[in-house]
Chain A
Amino acid sequence: AQSVTQPDIHITVSEGASLELRCNYSYGATPYLFWYVQSPGQGLQLLLKYFSGDTLVQGIKGFEAEFKRSQSSFNLRKPSVHWSDAAEYFCAVGERTYKYIFGTGTRLKVLA
């Protein structure tokens, strides 16, 4: 069955440090991949997406992600974290049948 795994439930980094959030997926075909961010009590906002082409994708707020087919991964990175990046981050796979599979999320805490 298709699945998305975010192995880190919580991550804490200092402001200005680099960040990498992990995402692994299980999907038979070439997946459509997404990263979303959610602030407390709010909806989800798209950070970036991968459909095809260049495996390194740039998103909003200085985030990027790299699709590695051999590792079934789509990790999210940011070179320097800001305090406003504290939020919950979700990785998702889009299937070809109008369905999306979400990971359980990684909650990011940023230390001043």
Chain B
Amino acid sequence: DGGITQSPKYLFRKEGQNVTLSCEQNLNHDAMYWYRQDPGQGLRLIYYSQIVNDFQKGDIAEGYSVSREKKESFPLTVTSAQKNPTAFYLCASSIRQGANTGELFFGEGSRLTVL
């Protein structure tokens, strides 16, 4: 079955450490996204990528980095520069439909806790 796989589901990090969250999709979608979710704040866009080897900052990119070397993969690194990294992280993808994009397909999320 096609879908988006995020790993790990739970991750614990000590302050000062970088961590990388994995996101893989087999939907053959062009665009991929990373969102951060905090209670009561909805989803906030961290980074998105429309095509391989290209990505753009979202609304809260500071302290995060991404790469898009393959169409199916869009890993997110949470660096030590991110001041409040404890959150639920969601990866998503979408297919382009004409001048617009279709709906987002989401992974199951990764919960990062900084100790």
Contact = CB atoms under 8 A, between A and B. Distances in A.
A43 B111 contact: no
Contact of B48 (A41, A45, A90, A98): A98
Interface of A: 9, 32, 34, 36, 41-46, 49, 51, 90, 92, 94, 96, 98-100, 102-105
Contacts of B45: 99-100
B103 interface: yes
A43 B42 contact: no
Interface string B23-63: 00000000101000000111101001010000000100000
The 4 closest A-B pairs by CB, nearest first: A43-B106, A104-B42, A102-B43, A44-B106
12 contacts: A9-B40, A36-B104, A41-B109, A43-B6, A43-B106, A43-B109, A44-B92, A44-B104, A46-B104, A92-B104, A99-B58, A105-B40
A102 B68 CA distance: 24
B108 A43 contact: yes
A70 to B, nearest CB: 22
A103 B107 CA distance: 19
Given A98-B50, A99-B45, A43 B90 contact: yes
Contacts of A45: 106
Contacts of A43: 4, 6, 90, 106-109
B7 interface: no
B111 A41 contact: yes
A96 B99 contact: yes
Given A46-B103, A98-B96, 17 more contacts: A32-B101, A41-B109, A42-B108, A43-B90, A43-B106, A44-B90, A44-B106, A49-B102, A51-B100, A98-B31, A98-B48, A99-B45, A99-B48, A100-B45, A100-B101, A100-B104, A104-B41
A43 B6 CA distance: 10
Contact of A104 (B40, B108, B111): B40
A96 B6 CA distance: 26
